[in-house]
Amino acid sequence: MDYGPCTVRDLKIGSTKYWCACGLSKHQPWCDGSHKGTGISPLKWTVNKDQKIFQICACKYTKDPPFCDATHTNLPCQVMERQDKCQNKDKHCQDTKLCTGCGWIPDF
């Protein structure tokens, strides 16, 4: 998982992109189908601004997807707090899938 935005250049206005919402894609910030089985779906986004550079969220905690809203600047503390309170916390070390309760990702 990345803790900062992806700088994306020269998107064509009107083109459609699928923003990875699960964090598992190998082609961040866009979906590569890795979300299958997680219960999380990508966000369909049509480019509606004519601009050269976009800051697209890669941490997956933005409140304005697919754009970075700077939530990542305090993310490690937020993630640790969320994972510490997760009801599935005791099962994380045996899980092979993303925890949809707190965002915990197994090491592969």
Smallest gap from residue 94 Cβ to ligand FES (A)? 28
**What is the C-alpha separation between 98 and 35, in angstroms, rounded?**
9
Of positions 18, 20, 21, 62, contacts ligand FES by CB under 6 A = 62
Q: Does 43 bind ligand FES (CB under 6 A)?
A: no
Q: Which is nearer to ligand FES, 21 or 99 (CB)?
A: 21
Q: How far is CA 42 from CA 26, 52, 94, 106, in A?
A: 14, 23, 26, 20
Chain positions contacting ligand FES, by CB under 6 A: 4-5, 57-59, 61-62, 68-72
